[in-house]
Every structure is written in C-alpha cells, then in structure tokens.
C-alpha cells in the first residue's frame, strides 16, 4: 500500500461523522438501494458512470424489466441490449455490460466475484466501481475514488491539485471504517453529488463545515462563485441523414466500432444533400423527397446538427444491399425500433408515420 503523505489536519472522526450524516440526510430512495443483489448494484454503477442520477432513475427499472436476471442479459442479443440502453449514451458501457454478464455467467457460474481485485478483471469494471460493488454487496473494506470523492477529500484536507492519484488512493483507504462500509461508501457519493458540488457547494449542509480545511479561513481548495464569463463556442458538426423508405421499410447501416455511436444502427450519414440523394438513387427511383426539421444533439466534445432528408422509393426498386447483412439492410419499422439506435434516430423513426 502506498504510504500516506504528510497532510495538514483534516476533519476528525471523518468516517464516523460521514456515516451519521448519510443515515440522517443522505439518499435512501434510489431504486437500486436497499439491496445487496450484485446484479442490480453492478447495473446501477455502470449506468451512473458519466450519467446524471435523474436519467438513470428513469431508465433503471425498464432495463430490469427487459433483462430481469444476469442470465437474461448474458443470453440476450447485443442489439437488444443496445436498444434498451438507447438514451443513456456512452454506448461502450452497454457493450462492456453485455460482455461482463457473459463473463460472470460462463466463467463464474453466474456468481459475481466478491473481492475488488476479482471484480476488476471483468469487462467495464474499474477500481472504484469494483470497490463500490464489493462494499455494497459484500461489506468489503474497499475504497472508492471517483471524481466526486476526489473533490470531497481535496477540500476536506485542503490538498493540492498536484497530489497524485496514488496518494489520494492511499488516503481513501486510510479513511475507511472497520464497519458500516455500505453507509460510508454511499455517504461519500451523496456528499459529493448533493452538497460538495464543483461550484456553489452547500457548505452549510456539510457534516464537516466546522473543520473542513478548505472551508476555514485561508483554505485554498474551495471554489467560490466566480463572475460568469462568456461560454466558449461549441464545435458543431452537420450530418445529413438519409431516411430512405421502401414501403414500410427503412434502410439502416451499422456504424463502425469507433467514433460517434460505435456499433449502433443508424440512418446513413452524409456531408450534403446531394451525396445523400446519390445513395438514394442506388436503391431505385425516388418518388418524393422531404427535408425533415433539423435538430441539435449535444455530445461531450461537440454538437451534432442532424438534418434528415426523407425519400420514398418505388415499390419496384431493387435496392443495393451491403455484402454483409450484419452491417446494412432494409428493416420494417417495428423491427428497426427494436435495434440499438442512437436516441435522435429512434425519436425520428418513432414519428415518421404520425
């Protein structure tokens, strides 16, 4: 274990006070709480990575209804998993989720490993996520250290931003209590998410308000409200989406395994209307073409301006089909909506006949 650096004093009885605060003021009504079922806890932890709690709350139970058990998820087709994941974003998590379920089912007889180290060997489970599962499900004495927890510790002990992750992990492990690991772990999550926020923290509601080093006079690690500056302009990328319709079928193509929406089924993407119509003409005679309303779809690093162009083709058309049916094809609308689709494409297909 990495040695703990010399640190300025911090809150006394840190774990004890945090546990008491969590039980009195923490979150207790989230749908994945009040259980030690590793399947539910693991699913919630993966969903919560880089996704707001409110979004996960709306999607957690529907996902469980579709895949109520680890076996159901492990034996499901990946497209079905991606379809149920639609709207949660960061679709690589869904593929890792599916792979992890298969690993646990086939390599561990359907039983999740109990230790942080063994959990980390599964697809999509990092050190902090493994610790959360081990603590919540098995009472393991394992430390979490996500972005929220780093912020709590840096402020409570007024640690410099230059402190290495190795040092932070050492501190996180040193602070672990010998009991009530689930309440302590949940308390760290709750405090970072609801009180010790990146900006405008609610220090008056913090259990460490009296001795948080950053909150005391001279503390350097508490971000005070700053005058708002003009936001940096976001990079915008325009995609023309071809919505080609042949009777009650639409043409979809699976995206590459890298880049935006990796591995999802999508309407063909083009740089301009002319390019999109050129593809449409390879399918047959175009009867009508209609520009659908554009929409702006925000991603982490840019905004996608999506401009759908809808074309209807003659029923006698002989569409060109990709050599591999796994990568392109005509789908009846109901079948298309059962695939893993990006959220804006799903929304478009859901209303085309209204």
Residues identified as active-site: 45
Can you tell me the distance from the alpha carbon of 144 to that of 48, in angstroms, rounded to the nearest whole number?
14
- Bridge partners for 288 per DSSP: 312
**Are 171 and 219 spatial neighbours (Cβ–Cβ below 8 Å)?**
no
- Bridge partners for 263 per DSSP: none
Residues 6+ apart with CB under 8 A from 233: none
Could you write out the DSSP letters of every residue in 195-255? IS-SSS--GGG-TTTTT-TTTSTT--S-----PPPPPPPPPEEEEEEEEEEETTEEEEEEP
What count of residues does the chain have?
354
- Give the number of other CB atoms < 10 A from CB of residue 297: 16
Q: Which two tokens stand for residue 244?
A: 């080609």
- Bridge partners for 251 per DSSP: 330
CA torsion angle for 257, 259, 264, 266 (degrees, to 10)?
Answer: -130
**Are 281 and 309 spatial neighbours (Cβ–Cβ below 8 Å)?**
no
Can you tell me the distance from the alpha carbon of 274 to that of 226, in angstroms, rounded to the nearest whole number?
47
Q: Which two tokens stand for residue 298?
A: 């925000």
Q: Nearest CA to 100 among 39, 37, 36?
A: 39
């Amino acid at each position: 274990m990495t040695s703990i650096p010399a640190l300025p004093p911090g809150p006394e009885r840190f774990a004890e006070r945090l546990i008491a605060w969590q039980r009195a003021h923490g979150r207790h009504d989230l749908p994945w709480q009040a259980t030690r079922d590793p399947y539910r806890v693991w699913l919630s932890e993966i969903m919560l990575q880089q996704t707001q709690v409110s979004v996960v709350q709306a999607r957690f139970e529907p996902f469980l209804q579709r895949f109520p058990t680890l076996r159901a998820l492990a034996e499901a087709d990946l497209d079905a998993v991606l379809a149920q994941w639609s709207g949660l974003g960061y679709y690589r998590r869904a593929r890792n989720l599916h792979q992890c379920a298969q690993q646990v089912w086939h390599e561990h007889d359907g039983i999740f490993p109990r230790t942080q180290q063994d959990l980390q060997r599964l697809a999509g489970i990092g050190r902090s996520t493994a610790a959360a599962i081990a603590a919540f499900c098995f009472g393991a004495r394992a430390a979490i250290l996500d972005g929220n927890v780093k912020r709590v510790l840096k402020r409570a002990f007024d640690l410099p931003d230059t402190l290495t992750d190795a040092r932070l992990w050492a501190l996180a492990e040193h602070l672990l209590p010998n009991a009530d690991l689930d309440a302590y772990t949940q308390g760290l999550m709750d405090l970072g998410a609801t009180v010790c926020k990146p900006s405008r923290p609610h220090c008056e509601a913090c259990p460490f308000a009296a001795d948080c080093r950053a909150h005391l006079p001279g503390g350097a690690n508490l971000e005070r409200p700053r005058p708002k500056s003009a936001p940096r302009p976001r990079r915008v990328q325009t995609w023309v989406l071809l919505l080609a319709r042949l009777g009650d079928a639409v043409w979809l193509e699976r995206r590459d395994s890298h880049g935006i929406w990796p591995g999802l089924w999508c309407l063909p993407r083009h740089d301009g209307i002319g390019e999109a119509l050129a593809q449409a003409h390879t399918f047959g005679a175009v009867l009508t073409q209609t520009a659908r309303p554009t929409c702006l779809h925000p991603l982490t690093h840019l905004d996608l301006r999506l401009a759908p162009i809808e074309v209807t083709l003659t029923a006698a058309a002989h569409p060109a089909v990709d050599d591999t049916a796994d990568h392109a094809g005509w789908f009846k609308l109901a079948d298309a909506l059962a695939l893993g689709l990006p959220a804006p494409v799903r929304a478009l297909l859901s209303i085309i006949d209204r």
